[in-house]
Structure formats: structure tokens, C-alpha cells
Structure 1
Amino acid sequence: MACCPQCRLPTGMHGAFGKPQGTAARVHIGQVIMSTHTKLQNKEHVTEALRRAKLKFSGYQKIHISKKWGFTKFNTDEFENMVAEKRLIPDGCGVKYIPNRGPWTNSGPWTHE
């Protein structure tokens, strides 16, 4: 039997075993799926983009607007005060925290700059 494109051969369960059909991820309840940061003036655009993106996922997703500054662990209201007091030093996309405790050579009113 010749196999030409016009021949309709019964293939049965074609691609039934052993071939990936898509990708999937295990997601737990409360796990962050997507994260972004932007300027405050673009907040509405990002919220709308995430709202449209969550329709592509099955289940129920929530859009949460964080009070943190960027991807750091510090709140927005205290971040600028801590930078002004030199408690935080910018380091790439994050910051380094300089604690009040530690050797006297690193902190206190007796340091010379």
C-alpha cells in the first residue's frame, strides 16, 4: 500500500502515550504566581494587565497590591526615611540593611564620614 497524502489510514490512538501535550506547574494555595513592580503612575495599567492575565489561568486568582518598596522587605512609608538615615544602602535591585547593633566602629554618633 502506498502512503500518499490523500490516503486516509486508520491511525488509532495517535500520540496517546509518551509524548508531552503541554506544560504544567504545581501551585499551592496562597503561592505567588506572578510578581511585578512599577512606578505609582502606572498602577492602573499593571492592574489591568494582571487582571487580563489571570483569566488565562484556571481557578481563582487574587491581585494583591503590596505595601513594600519594590522587591525589598521594607514598607514604602519607612523606606525613604531609612535611606535618608543611611540605614539602607542601595545594592542592585535590592538594598543592604545596616542595623543599629554591632561593633562601635560601624555605627553610632562617633563615626566619622
Structure 2
Amino acid sequence: MCTKLHNKEHVIEALHRAKFTFPGRQKKHISENWGFTEFNADEFENKMAKKSLIPDSCGIKYVPNRGPLDNWRVLLSLDL
């Protein structure tokens, strides 16, 4: 279940109550990552400020430090 951080207690309680309706043992894992990215919250904010991550519809696009300069200039010139 994916939710905002301030709803964490409500989600944990909802999963605790729902476990009685399913047989077997359910495991809860609270991720340190920001959304469905591979970066934690601090890394994500820093990389967005440095423009090394660019929003791409429902995901993000990582801008590496390598490659042709023309591609890099185009990505940084986008008004995001």
C-alpha cells in the first residue's frame, strides 16, 4: 500500500485489522524510498534541486553526468 507519510499510523492500523480476514501471516514493510524510485527522501530532494532528476509523467528520469553535451543541455533547458 502506498500512502503519504502523515497517514502511516492509519495504514498500519488498517493492515492490522485486515490481517484477521486473511489466512496465514502477513508481513509489513515500510520503505525508506521516495515513492517507487530507488532514492530515499533526502537523496530525492537533493537530486531534484541539482536537476539530476527530471519528472517524466508518472516517474522520474535520471540525468547522468556522462553522454553528449547536446542531450544534457536540452534536458536542463526544459522548464520544469
Normalising by structure 1, we get a TM-score of 0.57
Count matched residues: 75
Shift of the alpha carbon at 1:106?
3.1
Partner of 2:62: 97
Residue 78 (1) aligns with residue 43 (2) = yes
Q: Which has the higher contact order (CA 8 A, sep 6+)?
A: 2
More helix by share: 2
- Say what the alpha-carbon RMSD is for the aligned residues: 1.8
The percentage of aligned residue pairs carrying the same residue is 64
Q: Cα offset for 1:100?
A: 1.4
Runs of 4+ residues deviating >3 angstroms: none
Shift of residue 76 of structure 1?
Answer: 1.4
Give the Cα–Cα distance (whole angstroms) in 1 for the partners of residues 52 and 7 of structure 2.
28
Structure 1: state its 5+ residue gaps: 1-35
CA-to-partner distance for each residue in 1:67-103, whole Å, 9 max, x for gaps?
Answer: 0111222211200101111111112332111111111
Alignment pair present for 1:38 and 2:3:
yes
Greater C-alpha radius of gyration: 1
Unaligned runs of 5+ in 2: none
